[in-house]
Amino acid sequence: MADRTKRNRALVKTNRVLAYILLAAATAMIVTGYRTTGWFAFFSRGFADITHRIHLNAAFIVLLAAHSLLSIRTALMRKKIGGAYIDALLIVTGTIFIVLFIIPLFV
């Protein structure tokens, strides 16, 4: 029981850290998106375009999937719904989501 509680607390803290990283990634997406349209001249347009379209998109998708699924898991735990099957279902769902949205970035 103590191991499960420690794991749940660690996942909640990880979710909180992911939220802050996701906020920084969203801010970077906005800045690079504005730079590709001509605003903000403190870095090149080519760098902003590649960073915005490939690197930040991939990171944003992975962070968003992880944060969303951890939040769903936390909400289910509050409702006393959980277990290995739910965890496996969330992991499979997240993996499918990430694969479906990241592969088109590199093809």
- Cα torsion 61, 66, 69, 71 to 10°: value is -110
What pTM does this model have?
Answer: 0.83
Q: Given this model, what pLDDT does residue 97 score?
A: 93
* Mean pLDDT for all residues in the chain: 90
CA distance 8 to 105: 33
Least confident of 19-33, 41-55, 88-102: 41-55
Q: Find out whether 64 and 99 touch, Cβ atoms under 8 Å.
A: no
Span 79-101, pLDDT tens digits: 988 888 999 999 999 999 999 99
CA distance 1 to 15: 21
Span 48-77, pLDDT tens digits: 888 888 888 889 999 999 999 999 999 999
